[in-house]
Each structure stands twice: as C-alpha cells, then as structure tokens.
Amino acid sequence: MTSTILALVDGSIYSKSVCDHAAWAAAKMDAKVELLHVFDRLAGAQNSDLSGSIALGARTALLEKLATLDEQRLKLLQQKGRAILDDARAIIEAAGQTVSGVHLRQDDLTDAVAAQENSAAMIMIGKRGEAADFASLRLGAHVEELVRASHKPVFVASRAFKPIDRAVIAYDGAASSQRVVDHVARNPLFSGLTIEVITVGSRNRETEKGLENAKAVLAGAGLEVETKILAGQPDAVLGQRVEEAGSCLVAMGAYGHSRIRSFVIGSTTSEMLRSCKAPVLLMR
C-alpha cells in the first residue's frame, strides 16, 4: 500500500516550502501527497453579538446585514482555500509527484488533522503560519499544538527548501531517541543521506555505548553513519552544528525530560525551532 504525506497549506510564505519539502519526501518515500487547508471554524459567525441598546427594528435590520456579510466572508474564505489548494497541487505535480487527495475544512486545525492523519505516514507543516509574527519570529501557533496532538511524525518545514543530503539526530539514549533511530533506519526518507548522531554531554562509557548501539542499528539499515559527543548547552551546540552542516534535516524526539529533548517542546523547544533554519522532524 502506498503511503501518504499529509501536507498542511495556508496563505503564508511557508506553504511553498511545505509543498517543495512534501514533493521531495514523496519522491524519497514513494508516497503520495494529501493536501489540507483549514480555516477558522468560527468564520462567518463573528458578528452575532449585538448586545447593547439598539432599538428592535434597527437591531433586526443590522442583524440581517451582518448575516449577509458573514455569509459573503465565508464564501470568500472558501474560495481562498480552494485557490491555495490549487496552487499547492500545481507545485507538487510540477515536481513530478502525485496528489491523492485535497481537503478543505472549516474546523480546528488539530481536529482536522486528527480526522485525516490515520492513513498518513507523516504530517508536514510550515514553521510559521499565515498570521505569523515575523517581527518577533515567533513560531506558528499551531506547530506545538499539532506536535503534541498528532500520533504521526511531524515534519516542520523551514522557510525555503534546499536539497537535503544529511540528517542530524539529537540522541540522548532515552526511549524516544531510540524510536527516532529506529524510525530513521526504517524510513526510506533517509536513504542516501549521511546520518550524524549527536549526543551533547560528557564523554563516558555509557554515552559511547549508546552511540555505538544507535550506529549499529542505522548501519545495519545500510546508512552511512557518523557519531559525535559534543560538550556544551544542548540548544546552542546543536544549533551551531546544524548551521555548520548546511542543507540538513534534524530528527529528534519531541518529548522527554532530558536537556536535549526539553528544548524541542516548551520554551527551549520553541527557541530551537524558531532559530533553526533547517527542517525538523519531530517524533513523540
């Protein structure tokens, strides 16, 4: 059965990158792409509160006008959504990949993804959405919410696509790190990439043994593997290494209590995703 990638697109500048990354991943995984655009489920009902001292006749007339405006606004949002999906389909098909489904939903984003993700091997979303605050470089409001809610790996696309030839795994030896290693070993997305497994911390036999085990799993899958133990603050050290690595993909567990994983979700996580210029694959 052919796997699918569920790509979330909106009107932001990140949507082009999401489509480019989805096309790249689909080619690597021999997968098809499903497109999803979600707009606010409250759209079209924002002007219903008319509390105040308005005379009954005037209030009725005003309600009718506002209802008409809400209906028009809803139609415009639907037209905009269909245009975004058409553009996204064109980008992916121009890259030679297949779009197997297009979905336009008025809903909460996480609910909409939950309804579509069962058949997907991976969820793809841009780092920032249409309403992003580029002045503060804050993450899109839905990214962390989606990572916490989804049962599938979440690929957070960077602002622009660059051909990827290396993957960096943030590894601390815990269970979620092991799951990332197993996922990388099994997923054809990583075939042909040089895999760099990095532990940030003190060098000792336990750390070395953990990296040896991870390397054995990845090498057993036919991947070219390098391991590194680096000292310093995890977010700063990994961020610097990703910058040095150039066109790479970062893979890491999304939850945990270690210093490496705690910076992926939570305040330090947001900082890493905010500042990292590479795409990041997060796994629960």
What pLDDT was estimated at residue 147?
80
Residues contacting 178, CB < 8 A, separation 6+: 214
Q: How much is the CA Rg of the chain, to the nearest whole Å?
A: 22
- pLDDT score, position 266: 47
Mean pLDDT of 199-204: 88
Distance CA 173, CA 210 (A): 6
Q: What is the pLDDT of residues 29-38, one digit of tens each?
A: 999 999 999 9
Q: pLDDT tens for residues 219-239? A: 999 999 999 999 988 778 888
pLDDT tens sequence across 205-217: 999 999 999 999 9
> What average pLDDT does the structure give for the chain?
85
pLDDT for position 284: 74
Per-residue tokens: 9 = 């697109």
Model confidence, pTM? 0.85
How many CB atoms neighbour CB 278 within 10 A? Answer: 21
Task: Check whether 125 has a pLDDT greater than 70.
Answer: yes
What per-residue confidence (pLDDT) applies to 85? 97
pLDDT at position 132 over 80: no
More confident residue, 50 or 253: 253
Which range has highest mean pLDDT (86-100, 143-157, 163-177)?
Answer: 86-100
User: Phi/psi zone of residue 82: left (φ > 0), alpha (ψ -120 to 50 degrees), beta?
Assistant: alpha
For 69-87, how does the pLDDT look when each residue is reduced to its tens digit (9 = 90+)? 888 888 999 999 999 999 9
**How confident is the model at residue 223, as a pLDDT?**
97
Please name the residue ranges forming H helices in 95-228: 109-116, 141-149, 175-186, 205-220
- Cα three-residue angle 144-2-151, rounded to 5 degrees: 25
pLDDT higher than threshold 80 for residue 88: yes
For residue 112, name the pLDDT band (cuts at 50, 70, 90).
very high
Containing 87, the helix (H) or strand (E) segment is helix 56-94
